[in-house]
């Protein structure tokens, strides 16, 4: 997950005293959507190429090495789950948050180093994007980076047949897919907020169903509800995000396509990885 400043877990609209971004002209037609999608694809390809460069991998290692919250989470996860699962889990979280971090940087926005909370995940706090479409792509950058990691692990599993890599792909795909639930404070909720906020209602139903199916601890469910519900309630009471007025139909369509594409890709990797794992076995 990623969180904007200044309050962790709760959306803060831009200062109303600051000039709001000008409304972009609406240009109808699926040709406009296709052209915009092509530009967006090029941007994301460039972003992923940038992310995979050695200097940015070194930057990620430097950020994590200097983060006491990362080291604390690593210690907790290793102590509870063992060194293999603990290390894999914290690296999956780190890759996800590094995606958010680099997306903030890509848009020239101020951002803080990721903060890790043992057994609650992690978050990356940054400046609020002036454009709601940009904000959606910053939210998507975490699951997208997680998808790349899951896909790489799956490819390694196919190449050498080792169950360990399929288990890594399974874990990475599952955690990032769970984060795509269309409800705040998950990344999926922030993305759907840019498309059509009423879909949050469906997200709440999905989250409750997932919590029951996964037997999530009640404290985990309550904390997430406290983080996400205030912003959703405020939106439904007539305090929508002021940036939504500048979202054109084409922009909403682009965000929707990326949301569905990333979700389906994660689901495909998850299903493929689980097909290579014995029932009731993690492989780690």
Q: What pLDDT score does 270 carry?
A: 95
Alpha helix segments (H runs only) across 22-117: 30-51, 54-65, 68-81, 83-106
pTM of the model: 0.75
Averaged over successive runs of 10 residues, the pLDDT of the chain (284 residues) comes to: 51 45 43 42 47 51 63 87 88 92 94 87 91 95 95 93 92 96 93 90 91 88 85 76 86 95 96 86 63
Would you call 183 helix, strand, or coil by DSSP? coil
Helical residues (DSSP H) of the chain, grouped into ranges: 30-51, 54-65, 68-81, 83-106, 132-160, 163-178, 187-195, 200-214, 218-236, 249-275
**Three-class SS of residue 123?**
strand
Whether omega before 101 lies within 30 degrees of 0, making that bond cis, reads: no
Q: 67-94 pLDDT, tens per residue?
A: 678 888 888 888 988 888 888 999 899 9
* pLDDT for 232: 82
């Amino acid at each position: 997950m990623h969180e904007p400043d200044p309050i962790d877990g709760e959306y803060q609209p831009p200062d109303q005293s600051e000039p709001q971004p000008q409304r972009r002209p609406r240009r109808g037609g699926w040709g406009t959507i296709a052209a915009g999608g092509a530009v967006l694809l090029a941007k994301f390809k460039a972003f992923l190429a940038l992310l995979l460069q050695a200097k940015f991998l070194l930057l990620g290692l430097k950020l994590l090495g200097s983060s006491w919250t990362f080291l604390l989470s690593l210690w907790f996860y290793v102590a509870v789950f063992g060194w293999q699962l603990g290390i894999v889990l914290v690296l999956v979280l780190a890759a996800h948050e590094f995606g958010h971090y680099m997306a903030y940087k890509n848009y020239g926005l101020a951002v803080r180093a990721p903060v890790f909370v043992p057994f609650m995940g992690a978050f990356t706090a940054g400046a609020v994007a002036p454009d709601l479409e940009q904000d959606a792509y910053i939210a998507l950058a975490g699951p997208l980076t997680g998808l790349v990691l899951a896909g790489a692990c799956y490819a390694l599993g196919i190449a050498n047949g080792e169950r360990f890599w399929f288990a890594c792909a399974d874990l990475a795909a599952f955690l990032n897919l769970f984060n795509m639930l269309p409800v705040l404070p998950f990344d999926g909720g922030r993305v759907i907020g840019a498309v059509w906020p009423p879909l949050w209602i469906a997200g709440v139903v999905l989250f409750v169903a997932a919590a029951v199916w996964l037997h999530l601890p009640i404290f985990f469910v309550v904390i997430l509800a406290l983080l996400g519900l205030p912003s959703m309630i405020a939106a439904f009471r007539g305090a929508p995000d002021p940036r939504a007025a500048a979202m054109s139909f084409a922009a909403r369509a682009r965000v929707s396509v990326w949301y569905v594409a990333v979700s389906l890709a994660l689901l495909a990797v998850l299903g493929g990885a689980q097909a290579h794992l014995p029932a009731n076995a993690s492989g780690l």
